[in-house]
Amino acid sequence: MKILVLNSGSSSVKYQLINSVTHKILCKGLIEKIGEEGSFIHHINGGEIFEIKENIKDHSRAIQRISTLLVDHKYGPIDSLNDIDAIGHRVVHGGEKYAESVLIDEDVIGTIRENIKLAPLHNPPNLKGILSTLELMPEKPQVVVFDTSFHQTMPPFIYTYGLPYDFYKNFRIRRYGFHGTSHKYVSLKAAEFLNQPIESTNLITCHLGNGSSITAVKNGKSFDTSMGFTPVEGLLMGTRSGDIDPAILIYMENDLNYTIPQISDIINKKSGLSGVSGISNDMREIVKKSEDGDMRAKLAFDIFCYRIKKYIGAYMFSIGMVDAIVFTAGIGENCISTRESSLKGLEEFGIIIDKKKNRNIEKGTINDISAFNSKIRILVIPTNEELMIAKDTEAIVKNIK
């Protein structure tokens, strides 16, 4: 099946046309700076890269432009939009309603709308992309894949915060978790690699990118995850603080006279690797400066790796038996020293990294970097959220045909 995967952000739309059977990417691209000056299309077709400068005033125009590129004789791999079997959309927040990907209907659109209050930056542009696509290709089956749905299997004692229960009952304040599509994808890949059924596979999946989260996967299902009500909780990230004492925020407002928007800006955009180091949110810079002797870069790196170790430890106890620890996303797949430091000193627990294998990763494939005597396997698995969306879309659409 040919599946068009769309990821609509606030000022960008990412797209891929994927053959969901062969897993081949037929073409892909990114429209950036939508509604701004200098908007452009970065498009790849058959290995050829195109940069098209063009005024794209809104999401509706962006989706329309993608549809014309796909069938263009120079840019596109297909002759007609009829060649597209279905469309899969990434949506960040599905709240508590959806534990699986779903075919779009009025009810799903209503839920995405309802959850705008839980994901005010993400759900509105996600919805704009969906509505524009529905307008342009109303006859095509369209599927929504939520970042939160994989984590809907968490039990109440894990997703409920220790606040008065009414905050959950009346306002749905609870742990939701994010990066679900990536955690699910690498879990399936890990089970396949380990040659065992996903239903009896226990994993700790570390998605380490600009945003980072760790998930405890018990019998193939999300049991606990480090991100919470919002993506700020958990690990140290590029610019997000991760776990902090919530009373710090009250202190910032009451005693240091910061406003709520300022505090939000601090914990979301000015903290993390960037805030601690004062250098950058990019792990490559942090590692380089840290090796050059910069103390704050080293501190940021140490906090980052320590938190990974701490969550791995907690999740090992929480799920009991672990088959493998999986590293994925920009930092997880590429940063040798993060993998080495976060697993350092865990040999007694059966987690032993092979330093040579860790340094010689073959890109684009699954790498087992555990030592021969490691009880728990350590895997580096390239994530592929678009393929996961395409596979989910294919599975749902096959059922309705």
Known catalytic residues are 147
Q: What is the DSSP string of 207-261?
A: EESSSEEEEEEETTEEEEES--SSTTSSS--SS---S--THHHHHHHHTT---HH
Cβ–Cβ < 8 Å for 235, 242: yes
Least distance (Å) between residue 107 CB and ligand ADP:
30
CB nearer ligand ADP, residue 97 or residue 298: 298
Residues 295-334 touching ligand ADP, rule: CB under 6 A, are 329-331, 334
Site for ligand ADP in 218-247 (CB under 6 A): 238
Name the residue nearer to ligand ADP (CB basis): 19 or 210: 210
Alpha-carbon distance of 15 to 8, in angstroms, equals: 9
Near ligand ADP by CB under 6 A: residue from 243, 265, 282, 302: 282
Among 113, 117, 169, 284, binds ligand ADP (CB under 6 A): 284
Radius of gyration, CA atoms only, the chain:
21
Q: Which is nearer to ligand ADP, 328 or 370 (CB)?
A: 328
Q: Considering only residues 29, 88, 125, 211, which one is a binding residue for ligand ADP as defined by CB under 6 A?
A: 211
Where in 329-388 is the site for ligand ADP (CB under 6 A)? Answer: 329-331, 334-335
How many angstroms separate the CA atoms of 63 and 128, rounded?
10
Which residue is closest to ligand ADP by CB?
A: 330
Tell me the CA distances in angstroms from 62 to 70, 129, 220, 298, one per residue in order.
12, 9, 37, 42
Residues binding ligand ADP: what is the number (CB under 6 A)? 12
Nearest distance in Å: CB 305, ligand ADP:
12
CB of 206 to ligand ADP, least distance (A): 12
**Residues lying near ligand ADP in the complex (CB under 6 A):** 209-211, 238, 282-284, 329-331, 334-335
